[in-house]
């Protein structure tokens, strides 16, 4: 009798599973989020993109720019092998994923993959997992691409970074050594800290172990990358404020090895003594920047051009997004800069794309944050003021 009951229960269970398995998935209730698809996405482009004055953006001959996706407060960018672009965010606490599903070179779908975070500016992708940097915490979403649109669990990698929000938002990226590089900005405009982790670039293993300081004397880096041939680190650093409109310059620095000190808070741009701490140590103690990018221009994300779409002269040249000044009498920055390299050394720099700032009226309608290459060699540029991601292409 007991055996029969057990068999009956088992059959009933199998029947339930069978019925569930055959039923088409019940569509999600979309009343809370109008426009949401059953896969949890919303359209990545709306009529808003058409309202932006893209005709104001000047590019070298043969290049053009269009909107790839609309993303609120779009900050750092990362791409997965399947072509999903992940977008960090500073002001809204969200991380987004966008995808061009139909292959027309514009994103169609957008997912909010995490929300309620503390300035999740940094994103990095490695072996199926999305790494997210908040102010004091690095987490990851395992196998993110099987879960787009689902509620996900964040796995904590390291939650012991300093909690200060001043320069606390982070850019992150995996280096050629497989380690995750994580900057820690100075918790002030200018200050000397007892704790060596401030004003540094750290690195950790992907599982959070082995944290060490890679570079010191870095006031606030919000972008770095590695040269495609030398595998050496290049990073931008934002110069201090309140020493005037013209000094110090923001910097492009080169850190071919660990343990170098880049001068902050004692020396700026390689030769300018700090007005408060400059007498404590001479500039000759420190590594000078390779390129002075201009005062207050706020250089952020950067990438060497390794694609095939742009003319051959762009190969292994460096693109830098300049977010633009916030307290200079006359605004500057607000552009994408090209740093020319020869034999792995910078030889000069020039404006590649500008027009987000109207020099005459001093009005700004967009601010570049990060750059990213798509597999076809076109370049994405995120903009946290116009709330979009652009795609720059070369057609000749």
Give me the residues that bind Ca ion (CB under 5 A), please. Answer: 100, 102, 104, 106, 108
Minimal distance, residue 266 CB to Ca ion, in Å? 50
Minimal distance, residue 45 CB to Ca ion, in Å? 8
Minimal distance, residue 77 CB to Ca ion, in Å? 17
Minimal distance, residue 159 CB to Ca ion, in Å? 37
**By C-beta, is 85 or 199 nearer to Ca ion?**
85
Minimal distance, residue 148 CB to Ca ion, in Å? 16
- Going by C-alpha positions, the residue among 308, 337, 394 that lies closest to residue 223 is 337
Helix (H) or strand (E) holding 2: helix 2-22
**By C-beta, is 66 or 108 nearer to Ca ion?**
108
Minimal distance, residue 83 CB to Ca ion, in Å? 11
- Going by C-alpha positions, the residue among 60, 106, 112, 155 that lies closest to residue 390 is 106
**By C-beta, is 106 or 340 nearer to Ca ion?**
106
| Cβ atoms of 301 and 223 closer than 8 Å | yes
Helices and strands (H, E) in the chain, number of each type: 1, 28
**By C-beta, is 149 or 239 nearer to Ca ion?**
149
**By C-beta, is 36 or 232 nearer to Ca ion?**
36
**By C-beta, is 292 or 391 nearer to Ca ion?**
391
Integer Cα distance of 211 and 179 in angstroms: 10
| Cβ atoms of 300 and 223 closer than 8 Å | yes
| Cβ atoms of 228 and 304 closer than 8 Å | yes
**By C-beta, is 293 or 373 nearer to Ca ion?**
373
Integer Cα distance of 302 and 352 in angstroms: 13
**By C-beta, is 184 or 389 nearer to Ca ion?**
389
**By C-beta, is 110 or 170 nearer to Ca ion?**
110
Minimal distance, residue 68 CB to Ca ion, in Å? 9
What six digits make up the tokens of 312? Answer: 């051959």
Long-range pairs for 371-375: beta carbons < 8 A, 24 or more residues apart: 371/77, 371/301, 371/302, 371/303, 371/319, 371/320, 371/321, 371/336, 372/77, 372/78, 372/79, 372/85, 372/301, 372/303, 373/303, 373/305, 373/306, 373/307, 374/79, 374/83, 374/307, 375/83
| Backbone φ and ψ of 281, nearest 5° | -145, 140
Minimal distance, residue 108 CB to Ca ion, in Å? 4
The dihedral formed by the CA atoms of 192, 194, 199 and 200, expressed in degrees to the nearest 10: 150
Strands 155-158 and 138-141: antiparallel
Minimal distance, residue 51 CB to Ca ion, in Å? 20
């Amino acid at each position: 009798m007991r055996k029969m009951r057990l068999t009956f229960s088992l059959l009933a269970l199998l029947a339930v599973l069978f019925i569930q398995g055959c039923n088409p998935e019940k569509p999600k209730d979309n009343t809370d989020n109008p426009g949401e698809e059953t896969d949890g996405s919303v359209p990545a482009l709306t009529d808003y993109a058409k309202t932006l004055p893209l005709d104001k953006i000047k590019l070298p001959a043969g290049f053009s720019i269009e909107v790839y996706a609309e993303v609120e407060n779009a900050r750092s960018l990362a791409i997965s092998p399947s072509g999903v672009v992940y977008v960090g965010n500073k002001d809204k606490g969200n991380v987004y994923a966008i995808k061009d599903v139909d292959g027309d070179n514009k994103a169609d779908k957008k997912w909010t993959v995490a929300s309620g975070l503390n300035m999740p500016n940094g994103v990095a992708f490695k072996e199926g997992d999305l790494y997210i940097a908040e102010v004091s915490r690095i987490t990851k979403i395992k196998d993110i691409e099987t879960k787009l649109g689902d509620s996900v669990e964040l796995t904590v990698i390291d939650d012991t970074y300093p909690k200060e929000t001043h320069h606390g938002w982070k850019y992150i990226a995996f280096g050629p050594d497989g380690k995750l590089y994580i900057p820690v900005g100075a918790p002030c405009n200018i200050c000397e800290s007892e704790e060596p982790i401030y004003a540094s670039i750290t690195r950790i293993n992907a599982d959070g172990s082995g944290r060490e300081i890679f570079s010191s004397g870095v006031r606030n880096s919000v972008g770095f990358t590695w040269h495609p041939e030398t595998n050496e680190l290049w990073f931008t650093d934002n110069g201090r404020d309140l020493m005037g409109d013209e000094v110090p310059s923001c910097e492009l620095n080169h850190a071919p090895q660990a343990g170098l000190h880049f001068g902050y808070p004692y020396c700026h741009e390689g030769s300018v003594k700090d007005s408060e701490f400059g007498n404590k140590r001479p500039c000759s103690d420190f590594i000078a920047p390779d390129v002075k990018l201009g005062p207050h221009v706020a250089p952020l994300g950067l990438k060497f051009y390794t694609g095939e779409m742009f003319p051959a002269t762009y190969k292994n040249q460096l693109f830098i997004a300049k977010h633009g000044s916030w307290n200079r009498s006359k605004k500057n920055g607000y552009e994408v800069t090209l740093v020319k390299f020869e034999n792995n050394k910078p030889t000069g720099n020039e404006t590649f794309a500008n027009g987000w700032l109207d020099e005459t009226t001093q009005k700004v309608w967009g601010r570049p944050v990060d750059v990213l290459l798509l597999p076809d060699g076109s370049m994405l540029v995120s903009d946290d003021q116009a709330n979009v991601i652009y795609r720059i292409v070369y057609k000749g």
